Amino acid sequence: MRLENVVLDAHDPSVLGAFWAGLLGAEPLFASPDLVEARMPLADGVFLDLCLVRVPDPWTGPRRLHLDLAGGARQAAVVARAEALGARRVDIGQRDAPWVVLADVEGNPFCVMEERPAYDAAAAPIAALPLDSADPVRDAAFWATASGWVVQPADGDGRVLRHPLGVGPLLELCPEPSPKAADGKNRVHLDVRPTDGDDRDEVLARLLDLGGRPAPGTADDLPWTVLQDPSGNEVCLLAHEVADQQ
């Protein structure tokens, strides 16, 4: 299994895609009025794709997943680059936190992080993907199966996963401030894909056994399966590719 896509709902994928590809230095893959894709190579044969999908409806859902960008010694430069691309500083109650909170050109909040031992050079350009979790220990088992990532030692109540090669961002399962609303869809979600040797049906069965469930209101004719993790966060289980990359 691999964690393949970070997916952002967008009112205008071309505008939001240009912002994020420019900020992250991602390589354009595909562009249409309804979908923009860009790739962040992490190591030989290892990548993470950014997908901007047109969702014209007004967004009123929860902010349970966002991007923490690598900053460290370059924090001020990353913030300046984001602002030059159209980001603005926002106050979400962070007070005097050492990270900088910004909103992208469609108002999605993200953070530019300070120096942390866990955020090494292999994490750039995204340091972490913080995801709200009602039970990080329980949800870590689900996400390890879904992504193929490995649970890392962690302090406190949260749990952290990372690619087995030690590259790319951390997936941080953070104790949620409040339960997810029953009718609220995350504006940012993750896609996972089976790789060679994975039986998709077996993976799906394991995810359901680990507390996942079909997402309500999803069309039956999609080539992927939309699930919710045990805390209600959406994740799409994609189909096999003909020629897989690991």
Sign (positive/negative) of CA torsion 67, 172, 138, 1?
Answer: positive
User: Strand ranges (DSSP E) for the chain?
Assistant: 2-10, 27-31, 35-43, 46-54, 68-69, 88-89, 100-103, 109-112, 126-133, 150-152, 159-162, 170-175, 188-193, 213-214, 225-228, 234-237
Range of the domain at 142: 2-238
Is residue 246 a part of any domain in this protein?
Answer: no
Q: How sure is the predictor about 245, in pLDDT bands with cuts at 50, 70 and 90?
A: very low
User: At 164, is the secondary structure helix, strand, or coil?
Assistant: coil
Residue of 128, 109, 138, 127 whose CA lies nearest to 232:
138
User: At 122, is the secondary structure helix, strand, or coil?
Assistant: helix
Instruction: Report whether pLDDT(46) > 80.
Output: yes
pTM: 0.94
Mean pLDDT, residues 156-162: 93
What's the number of CA atoms in the CB half-sphere (13 Å) around residue 77?
A: 7
CATH for 195: 3.10.180.10
Mean pLDDT, residues 67-79: 96
Indicate the number of domains in the chain: 1
pLDDT at 237: 98
Is residue 65 a part of any domain in this protein?
Answer: yes
Residue of 125, 129, 164, 144 whose CA lies nearest to 39:
125
Is residue 50 a part of any domain in this protein?
Answer: yes
Is residue 243 a part of any domain in this protein?
Answer: no
Looking at mean pLDDT, say which of 39-48, 86-95, 135-144, 183-192 comes out highest: 135-144
Mean pLDDT, residues 195-216: 96
Count of beta carbons in the 10 Å neighbourhood of residue 172: 23
What would the two tokens of residue 210 be?
């680990």
Question: What rounded mean pLDDT belongs to the chain?
Answer: 92
Is residue 186 a part of any domain in this protein?
Answer: yes
Residue of 128, 110, 144, 108 whose CA lies nearest to 230:
144
Instruction: Report whether pLDDT(230) > 60.
Output: yes
What would the two tokens of residue 150 be?
């490995």
Q: Is 67 exposed, middle or buried (0-12, 13-18, 19+ CB in 10 A)?
A: buried
pLDDT at 243: 55
Is residue 11 a part of any domain in this protein?
Answer: yes
pLDDT at 242: 63
DSSP state letter for 242:
S
Is residue 28 a part of any domain in this protein?
Answer: yes
pLDDT at 90: 93
Is residue 245 a part of any domain in this protein?
Answer: no
Could you tell me what percent of the chain has a pLDDT over 70? 97
CA distance 26 to 245: 18
CA distance 10 to 41: 23
pLDDT in tens, 162-174: 999 999 999 999 9
Mean pLDDT, residues 232-242: 92
